[in-house]
Structure formats: structure tokens, C-alpha cells
């Protein structure tokens, strides 16, 4: 359960410290092997898994995140399930990690939080900062979905539109954090964020009563890959599963640095939530994908739009970024890249967060 930088140096835990002395991200190597919560436990939030976390965080900050439904989707295929993380409080899986980050920073004495985001991470941080009584500033790239910007402002955060790309926004955030006036609540950099996301996999295990053979996630920065790696290895170490599931990681072909293994120039994509040309934890994400015997898939825009329509037809109004998991899974199945047996596809964000993209897909 060490906290290490990319060079392997071990660091003491401090919620306010988000990168190593070498400038690389800090990463927890493992979860604790905890006691599985009882199905009758009253607390259904991510905080019921706190015994599995590598460090103690302090008082919880919660909006009811976690415990999202796992539903069968026979219209996609035999023994296929959807994990509905679009039903988290702010409409995104990001709530899982942000809840931990905000609570830890508040416990460490931070009062002013800064985040940079293409949308979902920023609105989530704004909501949890509001719940914690903290001041928030969110930097977003120009062109970010109007729905995500509106929600972030509604929660009371200051929103700063940054000209240029998602990478330009990150660079500006690092400059402002360097002034010392803000605690960096970055979902890309903070080591607790993937720990919170790991609860997604722990819930899937609890809901199925076992590990699925295949799990499908989308990736921008890759936090779900990291979270699933932490969780499934902890369950294997505890003897609660016998075999690790295979992870299918999906990115839009217009911006697929993790699939290509190289920095890319992002093109225009309706899956805007994963349009990150330089993932901060790219090295760590690819290592985690290998540990899970994973495969990486890049999808075209037509496939993403079709998957969005397909999901909505069956009642799941999710943003194109989330629907891309279905597009990628269908592509992986056609290529023989999935394992036989149960598949869980994670849906990450609500379609209400991207009204412009949804309107363009459905021509309304």
C-alpha cells in the first residue's frame, strides 16, 4: 500500500501533495484487503468501502454517490450487464473519486479548491466543494459542453474558460496552483481519485457475487483502468475471486493516445469527455491494463453516435463519451478480443450533461 512516484520512490501520505519530487504523479500501489460490507448495511455510498482504502481520510463528504444499479442488457447480447454510473449524484462516475479527494483536502485544512476539467470532473468537484462548505474554482477548455459549465456555476464555483486545448487548460491550472493560494483537487493528479473509482469495481463484484469475465470502460485520463486494477487485484489477494477479469479500454479514434501509446493531436469528437491528448498517468494506466490482460480499442465517430442512439432506444440517456463503451465492446467482440462469459459495460455520464452533442445526434 505504498504511495510511489514514477521512479518508484516511496512518499509519506499528505492529502495536499499531489505529485512526487520528480514531478510525476503519485500512485497508491494497492488497496487494503478489507471486510466486504454486509448487503443489509445502511450506508450504501462509496464510504462503506473505506476499510479497503490505503489511508484514513477523515470525516466523509457525501452526496449519496455509489451503489449504482447493475442491470441486464439482453438486447446487447447474452449475459451482458450495464453498470449505470451515469446515475451518480452529479450524473457522472467522477463523484466516486471526487468525494474522497474533497474530504481529504478538507481534513487537511484546505478551504479553496482548484480543478481543471473538460466538464464532468469540474462539475463534480464544484458540487462536493459546496457540500463541504469550501470555495471552488474550475478551469475548463473553451468549447466545453454548455450543460456541464452551467451545472458547475450553479453549484457556486467560479468557472474560468481557458483558450486552446484541454492541455492548455491543465497548464494554466498548474500555473495558478503554483501561487500557493489554492489546493489542487485534480481528478487527473490526486492519488486518491483512482481509489474512489475502485469502488465501482468493488460494487460490481458485490452485485454479481463474483468477477465478470470482461469489463468495458472508456478512458480519457484512465482513472477507471487504475481503479479497476486496484480493486480486482485486492479481491484476488483476499481470495474473493479466482481470476482477474479482462479489461477492454475504449477511446475515440480522434483522440486515442492510450490506444496508440503515444501523444496525439486531438481531433474533433462527440466523446469530448475523453479527448485528452496527454494523459497524466498514461504510463501507469498502460501498466494497469497489462496486469488485467486488457485490450485497447479506438472507435470512429459514426460508431459512437450509433451506440448513443442504441442506448437511448433502450432507455439509457447517456452522453456519447459513455456510449463509446458499447461501441468499443461491439468492436472488440467482432475482433474476438473479449473473454467468454459475463460482460459488464460501465456507463459513465448522463446525456443531460451534453445537450449540444445529444441534439446533434438526434437532430432535434
Cell of 103: 474530504
Sequence ranges of the domains in the chain: 70-93+191-362, 95-184
- For 269, left (φ over 0), alpha (ψ -120 to 50), or beta? beta
Quote the CA–CA distance of 228 and 219 in Å, as a whole number: 12
Return phi, psi of residue 234, to 5°. Answer: -65, -40
What SS3 class is residue 264? coil
Quote the CA–CA distance of 233 and 52 in Å, as a whole number: 12
- Domain 70-93+191-362 of CATH type 1.10.3720.10: no
CA distances in angstroms from 237 to 222, 232, 244, listed in the order given: 23, 9, 10
**H helices within 178-319, ranges in order?**
192-208, 223-237, 257-260, 282-291, 301-313
Instruction: Name the pTM for this structure.
Output: 0.95
- For 266, left (φ over 0), alpha (ψ -120 to 50), or beta? beta
Q: Which CATH fold would you assign to the domain 95-184?
A: Rossmann fold (3.40.50)
Q: Are the C-beta atoms of 219 and 126 separated by less than 8 Å?
A: no
95-184 and 70-93+191-362 share a CATH fold: yes
Element (H, E) at 167: helix 166-177
Taking alpha carbons only, the member of 274, 351, 344 closest to residue 313 is: 351
Cell of 146: 454548455
Quote the CA–CA distance of 89 and 307 in Å, as a whole number: 24
Quote the CA–CA distance of 114 and 162 in Å, as a whole number: 14
Three-state SS sequence of 81-101: EEEEHHHCCCCECHHHHHHHH
Q: Are the C-beta atoms of 248 and 260 separated by less than 8 Å?
A: no
- Taking residue 348's Cβ as centre, other Cβ atoms within 10 Å add up to 28
What SS3 class is residue 236? helix
Report residues of the chain scoring pLDDT below 50: none
pLDDT tens, residue by residue, 24-64: 999 999 999 888 787 777 789 999 999 999 999 999 999 99
Taking alpha carbons only, the member of 2, 36, 28 closest to residue 238 is: 36
Q: Which residues contact 58 (CB under 8 A, 6 or more apart)?
A: 103, 104, 106, 107
In angstroms and rounded to an integer, the radius of gyration of the C-alpha atoms of the chain is 19
pLDDT tens, residue by residue, 215-253: 999 999 999 999 999 999 999 999 999 999 999 999 999
Quote the CA–CA distance of 185 and 200 in Å, as a whole number: 20
Amino acid at each position: 500500500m505504498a504511495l510511489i512516484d514514477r521512479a518508484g520512490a516511496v512518499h509519506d501520505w499528505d492529502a495536499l501533495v499531489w505529485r512526487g519530487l520528480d514531478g510525476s504523479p503519485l500512485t497508491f500501489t494497492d488497496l487494503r484487503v478489507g471486510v466486504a460490507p454486509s448487503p443489509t448495511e445502511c450506508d450504501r455510498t462509496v464510504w462503506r468501502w473505506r476499510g479497503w482504502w490505503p489511508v484514513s481520510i477523515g470525516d466523509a463528504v457525501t452526496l449519496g454517490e455509489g451503489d449504482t444499479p447493475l442491470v441486464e442488457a439482453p438486447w446487447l447480447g447474452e449475459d451482458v450487464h450495464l453498470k449505470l454510473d451515469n446515475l451518480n449524484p452529479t450524473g457522472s462516475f467522477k463523484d466516486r473519486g471526487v468525494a474522497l479527494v474533497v474530504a481529504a483536502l478538507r481534513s487537511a485544512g484546505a478551504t479553496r479548491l482548484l480543478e481543471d476539467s473538460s466538464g464532468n470532473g469540474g462539475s463534480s468537484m464544484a458540487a462536493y466543494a459546496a457540500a463541504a462548505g469550501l470555495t471552488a474554482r474550475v478551469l475548463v477548455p473553451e468549447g466545453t459542453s454548455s450543460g456541464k459549465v452551467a451545472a458547475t456555476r450553479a453549484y457556486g464555483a467560479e468557472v474560468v474558460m481557458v483558450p486552446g486545448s484541454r492541455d492548455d487548460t491543465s497548464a494554466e491550472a498548474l500555473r495558478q496552483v503554483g501561487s500557493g493560494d489554492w489546493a489542487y483537487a485534480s481528478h487527473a493528479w490526486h492519488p486518491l481519485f483512482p481509489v474512489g473509482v475502485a469502488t465501482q469495481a468493488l460494487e460490481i463484484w458485490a452485485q454479481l457475487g463474483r468477477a465478470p469475465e470482461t469489463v468495458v470502460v472508456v478512458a480519457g485520463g484512465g482513472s477507471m483502468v487504475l481503479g479497476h486494477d486496484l480493486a480486482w487485484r485486492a479481491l484476488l489477494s483476499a481470495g474473493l475471486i479466482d481470476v482477474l477479469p479482462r479489461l477492454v479500454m475504449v477511446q475515440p479514434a480522434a483522440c486515442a493516445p492510450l490506444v496508440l501509446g503515444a501523444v496525439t493531436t486531438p481531433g474533433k469528437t462527440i466523446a469530448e469527455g475523453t479527448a485528452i491528448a496527454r494523459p497524466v498517468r498514461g504510463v501507469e494506466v498502460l501498466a494497469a491494463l497489462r496486469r488485467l490482460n486488457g485490450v485497447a480499442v479506438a472507435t470512429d465517430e459514426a460508431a459512437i453516435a450509433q451506440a448513443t442512439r442504441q442506448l437511448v432506444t433502450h432507455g439509457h440517456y447517456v452522453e456519447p463519451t459513455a456510449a463509446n463503451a458499447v461501441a468499443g465492446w461491439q468492436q472488440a467482440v467482432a475482433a474476438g478480443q473479449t473473454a467468454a462469459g459475463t460482460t459488464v459495460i460501465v456507463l459513465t455520464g448522463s446525456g443531460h450533461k451534453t445537450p449540444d452533442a445529444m441534439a446533434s445526434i438526434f437532430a432535434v
